[in-house]
Structure 1
């Protein structure tokens, strides 16, 4: 990817104009903008100039921080965050990536227009207006490929502190040489075998990590909210939440750009066939029809739709459920989400830890639908797991079981209390 200067278009206005007739090129509009009562003039006349795109330059980029980071608050105390825009030069020049690096931090914010929420079909065209009060000119510029970028936090790796001006080459040991050769010339099987071998070596003890930890500098506060997710292999959560709905926030599970692609269950109320849907979804359609609040009905429908896709994704990646899911249609944005969350890029099958994570996502969605009191029998049938075997997955989420009318229901008490993990000591 090549680093591009995104501000050049502001200096060369003519560079964005496409070949048009001379009369149309020089045409500008004049409009009046009302001002407040405290000003002397009621309106000001400005010239509006709409600038078109130039192929060799990047139009303005609009991005927002999903984590709530405020760059203006940081810049007030000193340096402003560094903003860099990259563009692919080989595959496609329309593939952009935005990187915001706060000064002195080991976390940077990254967004792209070819992954995640940005892959959804854009139904709106965005433009940016820049008003120059001195020249009374309003310039209308197109947003880069009509995308609004979602910036996600990423932990970055720093260079060795031994020397800031030069990189000292290090000789690769035997294991690192084998890994590099496998990456360049090895088959998928050889690469996977090498990963398993290295994982076994890393599990032998803390001494296996000597010489590696000093190469990575991690901001502990940035990972505080995600470390529990990695260790417990569960969806994003708030352990100190006071209500069950806030314990596993649905907005952390379904991104903003995914809601429009989860409308199929909502249409089932019109009498569409339901045989292809999981048992859990079919058994909740009557409850969906009884919901009077339209916003709540839309939310529950989207949750049921995502639950369906997750169950089918598990089936299509397993031997016993492949036939039931081979004709299932995944929205592109949901398929990409499932692959990034539950499957390694170079593996043909889902690893065990990813399967457990997918099951945790499905159980959290079922809890939301049943208002955090759910009978695990039907969802266990969809996941092809016995209700007893599914209980440990509920326990990992902090759930408790209570008997109501001779039925054991999984409930979610708050604040969350997770089971303590016991570490086995290795025998010498």
Structure 2
């Protein structure tokens, strides 16, 4: 810092919030009324300022300022009004100590600036405020404005694409465009086979190769591969795929990437690893006994939206039994791709938190055959693709 052509060296010190001490609060009065000015007019007039803290929700504060003898009280809080909107900025005081040439940064309480509104009354009781001071529509609109202001162009394009997908008129326009496209006969068969009552991923009964029995492009769309590069990047920098982050199925097979020379094929396999991870973590997130491994797992927005529309019941917001079975089927189909359609049931059963013998019926419903090799039970996919006569699984009462 320079002042009068003299250089001054300052040391900056950041003070963390101390639970035993109450951090400072900044308040403002939107009107022209000046509390401090009126306090200084006469020595007889004094002011009282009280700060309330919610016992149950410790991040909630309310400030009440009042001139003694006046019926007007100024009240502000951080849980209603403008302060309840999403706050993307943190605030702090900067105190300059000229004696020691030190700048101390002190965080403001709850990172909020309180707006004091006048209220006529003489009550010292803390008002009850509803849990959601803003309506859902108001919060959504506020979040949309903040995203537009602070987000990157890339993330905004992704959100716009999802909003367009949800728009009914846009879907109708897409349907009309699709009707005008002449699809090959094979694609028509695949699309028709995906509309079934078997609760399975899209399949092709006429496939002559196991890799076409369940077309991968019908499971992972073209635009989703760009969000499935985490395993690929970890392998490129020599990082380790740990069980704390990835399922054991992925950890036990990630070494296959080292033997693949073609980069496109390596990206494809790594993308399948990532997709399996997101599917399993999505299932765990919606489980009643959610495991700690999903607490910090982030599913890309485009995939979370897709999984929610496919597997989550719109009314209960939970995974119904049929949806869980469908999700498991998607996972198992991808395990077949990873293991060249001869996969061991042991580790994927552990990831899905199911006994291996129970997983057999899921593979069989996909048209797989179970064979034993060297004391291992492997699921294979013979062709032509056929399904058992009874596909509905028995449930224990």
TM score, norm. by length of structure 1? 0.47
Is contact 1:258-1:334 (8 Å) kept? yes
The question of whether the paired residues in 1 share the 8 Å contact of 2:208 and 2:383 is answered with yes
Tell me if structure 1 keeps the 8 A contact 2:193–2:204: no
Q: Which residue is 1:44 aligned to?
A: none
- Match of residue 233, structure 2, among 230, 249, 267: 267
Match status 1:412 vs 2:381: yes
User: For residue 325 of structure 1, what is the aligned residue in structure 2?
Assistant: 294
Structure 1 gap segments, 5+ residues each: 1-90, 93-111, 120-146, 156-221, 424-428
Cα gap change, 1:230 to 1:422, in 2 (>3 Å): closer
The residue correspondences of 1:361-372 to structure 2 (distance < 5 A) are: 361-372=330-341
Q: Distance in 1 between matches of 2:173 and 2:386?
A: 32
Tell whether the 8 Å contact from 2:231 to 2:274 is kept in structure 1 after alignment.
yes
Higher Rg: 2
The equivalent position to 2:217 in structure 1, one of 238, 242, 251, is 251
CA distance in 2, matches of 1:235, 1:315: 20
Distance 1:390 1:153 in 2: 41
- Measured against aligned partners, the alpha-carbon deviations of 1:79-123 in whole angstroms (never above 9, x if no partner) come to xxxxxxxxxxxx89xxxxxxxxxxxxxxxxxxx95439979xxxx
- 3-state SS of paired residue (1:408): strand
Structure 1 residues 330-384: Cα deviation after superposition (integer angstroms, max 9, x where no partner): 1100101110111122223100000000000000011001110000100000000
Shift of 1:263: 0.2
Runs of 4+ aligned structure 1 residues displaced above 4 Å come to 116-119, 152-155, 222-229
Aligned pairs for 1:305-320 within 5 A: 305-320=274-289
Question: Given the superposition, is the C-alpha separation of residues 339 and 223 from structure 1 closer, same or farther in structure 2, using an over 3 Å criterion?
Answer: farther
Q: Does 1:403 align with 2:372?
A: yes
In the alignment, the residues of structure 2 paired with residue 305 and residue 227 of structure 1 have an alpha-carbon distance, to the nearest angstrom, of: 26
Q: Which ranges in structure 2 are unaligned for 5 or more consecutive residues?
A: 1-140, 145-158, 179-187, 393-397
Q: Give the alignment of 1:324-343 within 5 angstroms.
A: 324-343=293-312
Change (3 A) 1:152 1:323: farther
Choose which of 115, 121, 134 in structure 1 pairs with 2:162.
Answer: 115
User: Equivalents in 2 of 1:273, 1:223: separation in Å?
Assistant: 39
Q: What is the aligned-residue RMSD (CA, Å)?
A: 3.4
Instruction: String of CA shifts for 1:27-79, please: whole Å, max 9, x gaps.
Output: xxxxxxxxxxxxxxxxxxxxxxxxxxxxxxxxxxxxxxxxxxxxxxxxxxxxx
2:346 to 335, 360, 377: 377
Q: How many residues align?
A: 223
Q: Which of residues 154, 174, 177 is equivalent to 1:151?
A: 174
Pairwise CA distance, 1:321: 3.3
Corresponding residue for residue 328 of structure 2: 359
Seen in structure 2, the aligned counterparts of structure 1 residues 154 and 404 have a Cα distance that, compared at 3 Å, is farther
